[in-house]
Amino acid sequence: MDDLLAARALMGVSLAFHIVYATIGIGLPLLLMLAEGLSLKTGEEEWHEIARSWIRPAGVLFAIGAVSGTILSFELGLLWPKFMVFAGPMVGLAFSMEGFAFFTEAIFLALYSYGERRLSRRAQFLCTIPLVLASAISAVFVISANGWMNTPGGFRMVNGVASDIRPLIAFANQAWPHQAVHGTFAAYVATGFAVAGFYAADLLRGRKTSQVKRALTLSLAVGTLSLPLMLMSGDWAAEALAENQKAKLAAAEAHFKTVAAAPLIIGGWPDPETGTVRYAIKIPKLLSYLANGDANSVVQGLDAFPQGSTPDPRIVHPFFDLMVGSFFIMAAAAGWFWWLRWRQKEVTLKRGALVLVIIAAPFGMIALESGWMVTEFGRQPWIIQGYLRTSEAVTPNGGLLLIFATFLFVYLALSVGILKLLLRRQGRVEGGKEVLHG
Amino acid sequence: MADPVTLASIILVAGLLMYALFGGADFGGGIWTALAFGPRAREQREALFNAIGPVWETNHVWLIFVVVTLFTAFPAGFGNLFVVLMTPLVLALVGINFRGAAFAFRHFGRESKRETPLSARVFEIASVLTPFTLGLAVSAAAAGRIVIAGCIPTENVSAWLNPFTILGGVVGMAICAYLAPVYMTVRVTGKLQEDFRKESLAAGLALGILTSLMIPLAHYQAPLFAKRLFNSWPMLFVMLAVLAGIVTETLLWLRRYFWAQLLAGATIVFTMAGFAAALHPDILIGQLTLRAAAAPYPTLVAFLAVLPIGALILVPSLFYLYWTFRGEPSSDLPP
């Protein structure tokens, strides 16, 4: 493994790790706010107890998210110093604003989780509102930096140097709106389904308390309501790709040759040697329709770009399919659950429906991770699309393999610790009603 | 004064100061958890641990603020510093990571009566390691041994590892160890308060000796830094730091804790301001000026324009946080 690959692997592992915690840090506050709001509105203590039972995992996961986010901010300099010298003046604003939002988030999470005896119930609920807003806004801000890497703007290249820099235009780049909206809804979907799976498992294990049923209903409702919003924003994202990031779209769709009336390719294995996709399902004209709203329009394939400047469809296409496929798994599980819920006028205890919810539970996170892979691998070999190659941005320092190994160990240790903690906790709850104080 | 580069460098130093004051106290809590001894060692640990709980994450965010300010306003400084200081920064990062995780695990593990000694040890070791490596990295920028040539690192390890930077790392630890017990004196009562008073007095003495040692050492090891420190206005900060330190020790002696706490904070502010003033106008002494490292004008203006908006949200929120958790640290933790 050379230093470039080690740097890319370390950045990739760090982000893949961080995204899980960042996602829960966006989704869980919404669930907390809704549960506390329902508690105040209905006067039922149970909703408050549900919210309080989420604090322990929220605290741990948020803490890990904060430290893994710090690792990322350091890695920007440790691994990609030349990228940051170039990009800092343009993406720095997004990170600065995200910093404030994250700061606000940390403050109100601390107030909410430690304030049980120091704050009134109403004040606790009010603390969850800035928490929800700040966590969503921090995601929206930080995604602007990634959007800029995909659709750089707000500067002019003069003799190889960025000049005439306009930070606000860089901030509001073309990819930002659809990436931000899609990413935020995906976080609500991922958290909603993950939490729902947890409670569905509780029901299956025979813990049929009304608290479990309520928690399942609330979390799955958040996940389900966000699903169509995620789908619509995904469609928007695809249209924007067709306009601004044609190579990425071509790689995602495994679309090798520029043709009119392009088919949509589902599954299969792209073979760059022959420019074909083996074992794939092809739906005639659908790609042209989805990309341009016209079934006979021309869609640029990978052959429309200079050789060596396009992403590898063998990595991008499978992740794209995994992302889209995850949606259908979650939609099926949610559909069946709500259908039974409506028919039986009660949270269903049918084994099949609960098992399906459990199966669907990780797919929100899988969709998010694979969607992120699509956007990152889909930009290669560029770190800043069209301006700076990833290979040119890497640090001149050697020994990155050792650093990669060090942090791999750090992440493994953290993952083992978290799993132990959360699973032990699970063992403790089974005894009966939620335990209030340790 | 209205020059955006100067304003941005003041923001950078202010961020570092906030991190030293709040994050520093936090690390100090970890250091004194490791050093706690005597008949009330357990109570001391408990009190420190409970005091850190609600605020550590917020304190930690100041570091992110510093890093973000650095790469937004001084991207060339950020790029070069992270290339030459890779090793100490990676070590600091490992420390930060394990500390946060160990704290969270210990905290929530203890909640369910499953506290593990492992996470307690990791928390203590990381609390010592991180301020040392960060202090080392910061003082390496002033040692004057780093030679940069456009993001190309020096092979020479002694550029960042030499007696001056090592002492700088120890001073980093001493700053943390000094702030934590002083803050604790106003939060607890009785014998525990006496314990923290003694710790504060000892740590203050240690900090005074260490920073005094730093000055003759700088003369030999970091001559440019020493020259700037002695020859002009940065000396004013040194004198103020010495004065504040002496007054703090006196106030602690007289058990005037409220004022001692404020003066202890002032000691650190003056010490670090003296350091920053002697570094000025460079970000990497003798190699890279703040002006040369700064982002283009429009970026600096946008950054400075966003700050007051952020502060408008942040300052009242922070005030509310520290006000809510004022007074005796309690263990009423998340259920």
Token pair, residue A229, equals 């919003």
pLDDT at residue number B329: 66
**pLDDT at position A90 over 50:** yes
As a whole-number percent, the residues of chain B with pLDDT over 90 amount to 37
Does the beta carbon of A14 lie under 8 angstroms from any beta carbon of chain B? no
Taking CA B166 as the corner, what is the angle to CA B200 and CA B246, rounded to the nearest 5 degrees?
A: 30
The neighbour count for residue A114, using CB atoms within 10 Å, is 23
Predicted TM-score (pTM) of the model is: 0.87
State pLDDT tens for residues A287-321: 888 888 888 888 888 888 888 888 988 989 999 99
Q: Among the listed ranges A277-286, B130-139, B143-152, B247-256, which one has the minimum average pLDDT value? A: B143-152
pLDDT at residue number A430: 39
**pLDDT at position A381 over 70:** yes
Between A and B, how many CB-CB pairs are < 8 A?
Answer: 240
B123 in Cβ contact with B103 (< 8 Å) = yes
B206 in Cβ contact with B177 (< 8 Å) = yes
- Which of B56, B82, B297, B330 is the best substitution to test chain A (most A C-beta atoms within 10 A)? B82
State pLDDT tens for residues A95-106: 989 988 988 988
Nearest to B101 among A67, A97, A116 (CB): A67
pLDDT at residue number A227: 93
Report, as an integer, the average pLDDT of A231-243: 88
Read off the DSSP letter of residue A302: G
Token pair, residue B242, equals 């010495």
- B94 contact partners, CB below 8 Å, separation of at least 6: A406, A407, A410, B126, B129
| Residue contact A99–B310, C-beta within 8 A | yes
| Residue contact A103–B58, C-beta within 8 A | yes
Using CA coordinates, name the residue in chain B closest to A110.
Answer: B54
Nearest to B61 among A82, A106, A414 (CB): A106
A2 or A133: which carries more pLDDT confidence?
A133
This complex has an ipTM of 0.87
State pLDDT tens for residues A143-194: 999 999 999 988 888 887 888 889 898 898 988 889 999 999 999 999 999 9
Q: What is B101-162 written as a DSSP string? A: HHHHHHHHHHHTT---HHHHHHHHHHHHHHHHHHHHHHHHHHHS----SSSPPPS-GGGT-S
**pLDDT at position B264 over 80:** yes
Using CA coordinates, name the residue in chain B closest to A417.
Answer: B105
Nearest to B314 among A77, A100, A119 (CB): A100
pLDDT bin (cut points 50, 70, 90) of residue A133 is very high
Q: Which residues of A touch B153 (CB under 8 A)?
A: 396-397
Distance CA A114, CA B58 (A): 13
Task: Report A:138-167 residues touching B (Cβ under 8 A).
Answer: 163, 165-167
A217 in Cβ contact with A199 (< 8 Å) = no
pLDDT at residue number A432: 37
**pLDDT at position A48 over 80:** yes
**pLDDT at position A3 over 80:** yes
CA distances from B20 to A210, B153, B315, B329 (A): 48, 28, 18, 21
Distance CA B23, CA B46 (A): 19
Report, as an integer, the average pLDDT of A232-244: 88
Q: What is B207-266 written as a DSSP string? A: HHHHHHHHHHHHHHH-HHHHHHHHHSTHHHHHHHHHHHHHHHHHHHHTT-HHHHHHHHHH
- Which of B11, B84, B108 is the best substitution to test chain A (most A C-beta atoms within 10 A)? B108
pLDDT at residue number A429: 42
Report, as an integer, the average pLDDT of B206-214: 93
As a whole-number percent, the residues of chain A with pLDDT over 90 amount to 34
Q: Which residues of B touch A421 (CB under 8 A)?
A: 105, 108-109
Average pLDDT for chain A: 87
Distance CA A124, CA A130 (A): 11
Does the beta carbon of A400 lie under 8 angstroms from any beta carbon of chain B? no
| Residue contact B332–A95, C-beta within 8 A | no
Q: Among the listed ranges A285-294, A342-351, B189-198, which one has the minimum average pLDDT value? A: A342-351
Report the run of H or E that residue A271 belongs to, with start and end.
Answer: strand A269-271
Taking CA B281 as the corner, what is the angle to CA B279 and CA B284, rounded to the nearest 5 degrees?
A: 55
A63 or A134: which carries more pLDDT confidence?
A134
**pLDDT at position A69 over 70:** yes
Q: Is B144 left (phi over 0), alpha (psi -120 to 50) or beta?
A: left
Torsion angle in degrees (nearest 10) through CA of B87, B89, B90, B95: 130
CA distances from A46 to A26, A437, B111 (A): 23, 16, 21
Nearest to B111 among A111, A410, A438 (CB): A438
| Residues A316-335 as b or e (16 or more Cβ within 10 Å = b) | bbbbbbbbbbbbebbeebbe
Using CA coordinates, name the residue in chain B closest to A165.
Answer: B298
State pLDDT tens for residues B16-53: 999 999 888 888 888 888 888 888 888 888 888 888 77
Q: What is A145-193 written as a DSSP string? A: HHHHHHS--S-EEETTEEES--HHHHHT-TTHHHHHHHHHHHHHHHHHH
**pLDDT at position B333 over 60:** no
The neighbour count for residue A168, using CB atoms within 10 Å, is 11
DSSP-derived 3-state class of residue A29? helix
Nearest to A74 among B53, B67, B69 (CB): B67
Nearest to A118 among B67, B81, B324 (CB): B324
Q: Among the listed ranges A168-177, B143-152, B304-313, which one has the minimum average pLDDT value? A: B143-152
Token pair, residue B50, equals 């409970």
Task: Report A:103-132 residues touching B (Cβ under 8 A).
Answer: 103-104, 106-111, 113-119, 130
DSSP-derived 3-state class of residue A367? helix
**pLDDT at position A431 over 50:** no
Distance CA A360, CA A265 (A): 24
State pLDDT tens for residues B55-99: 777 788 889 899 999 999 999 888 888 888 888 999 999 998 888
Using CA coordinates, name the residue in chain A closest to B318.
Answer: A107
Average pLDDT for chain B: 86
- Which of A124, A421, A424, A428 is the best substitution to test chain B (most B C-beta atoms within 10 A)? A421
Does the beta carbon of A221 lie under 8 angstroms from any beta carbon of chain B? no
| E runs forming strands in B266-317 | 282-284, 288-289
Q: Report the candidate in A198, A229, A185 with the shortest Cα–Cα distance to residue A357.
A: A198
The one-letter amino acid code at B24 reads G
The one-letter amino acid code at A224 reads T
pLDDT at residue number B111: 58
> What pairs with residue A281 in β-bridges?
A266
Task: Report A:328-387 residues touching B (Cβ under 8 A).
Answer: none
Token pair, residue A406, equals 């060090």
Q: Report the candidate in B182, B235, B130, B112 with the shortest Cα–Cα distance to residue A428.
A: B112
Distance CA B110, CA B47 (A): 14
Distance CA B138, CA B140 (A): 5
Token pair, residue A271, equals 């073979």
| Residue contact A395–B80, C-beta within 8 A | no
Token pair, residue A371, equals 């969607």
State pLDDT tens for residues A241-288: 888 888 888 888 888 888 888 888 888 888 888 888 888 888 888 888
Distance CA B282, CA B142 (A): 9
| Residue contact A437–B335, C-beta within 8 A | yes
| Residue contact A96–B310, C-beta within 8 A | yes
Report, as an integer, the average pLDDT of B280-287: 86
Token pair, residue A382, equals 């560029």
Token pair, residue B35, equals 């050093």
- B173 contact partners, CB below 8 Å, separation of at least 6: B27, B31, B128, B131, B132, B135
Q: Which residues of A touch B317 (CB under 8 A)?
A: 103-104, 107-108, 130
| Residue contact A92–B71, C-beta within 8 A | yes
| Residue contact B325–A118, C-beta within 8 A | yes
- Which of B324, B325, B331, B332 is the best substitution to test chain A (most A C-beta atoms within 10 A)? B324
Report, as an integer, the average pLDDT of A388-394: 89
Does the beta carbon of A11 lie under 8 angstroms from any beta carbon of chain B? no
Token pair, residue A108, equals 């109100």
